[in-house]
Chain A
């Protein structure tokens, strides 16, 4: 199947610093990517839709100034957690859909475990 790669897989940062997470579609182009957050023992919660060449669409309750999304190319979307705080510690995961495939399965990156200390 299509491959979505996410980097880094784990990151520990100090409170107040910013962290950038990359999501790449390795063998297909993705005009749209999706960012989810998953707290321990909870479901995946959609944070935002990343649109290539335009502004991201954020879900209700997600601060756009805190979670900066950039989708500068058809294969790369980045999520930057700005001024991170311990409550931002979570598992962040992206997904993308290969528009050229007949079955529009959503492929997920391997996720990023963020720990803010």
Chain B
């Protein structure tokens, strides 16, 4: 099955700086990699995702890069703001191939991001 490792566990940055969170996965068949943001006591919210047929995806201040050969993907947040402070989780499909009924995700351990004003 899939194994997802996430680093770092905590990350503190100054407002305006960039933040990078990295994840590795074990199943070379995995084809979908979402990133979730979770605020305390709330449900995880998808912030960006990438499929294995692309190497990079960007959405305003957030970007995700994927290296299939090395089996790792990273979340990049630029121009960080205090409201970016939360726990971020990466995930990969449990069964490798993601789609519909196979939507069970294995999550990394999370990164607590603190953005200091």
Binding site for B on A (CB under 8 A): 31-32, 34, 42-46, 49, 51, 91, 93, 95-97, 99, 103-106, 108-111, 113
Among B41, B43, B106, which residue has its beta carbon within 8 angstroms of that of A108?
A: B43
Main secondary structure of the interface of A (DSSP, over half): strand
Binding site for A on B (CB under 8 A): 32, 34, 41-46, 49, 89, 94, 98-101, 103-110
Query: A34–B103 contact, CB under 8 A?
Result: yes
Return chain B residues, CB-CB under 8 Å to A44.
44, 89, 107
Query: B100–A108 contact, CB under 8 A?
Result: no
Among A32, A42, A110, which residue has its beta carbon within 8 angstroms of that of B100?
A: A32
**Beyond A97-B100, A104-B99, is A46–B43 a contact (Cβ under 8 Å)?**
no
**How far apart sit A108 and B103, CA to CA, in the bound complex (Å)?**
12
Scoring B41, B100, B106, B108 by chain A CB atoms within 10 A of each residue's CB, the highest score goes to: B100
Return chain B residues, CB-CB under 8 Å to A45.
107
**Beyond A44-B107, A104-B32, is A109–B43 a contact (Cβ under 8 Å)?**
yes
**Beyond A42-B109, A44-B107, is A106–B34 a contact (Cβ under 8 Å)?**
yes
The residue of chain A having its C-beta at the shortest distance from the C-beta of B49 within the complex is: A105
Query: A113–B99 contact, CB under 8 A?
Result: no
Q: How far is the CB of A63 from chain B (nearest CB, A)?
A: 18
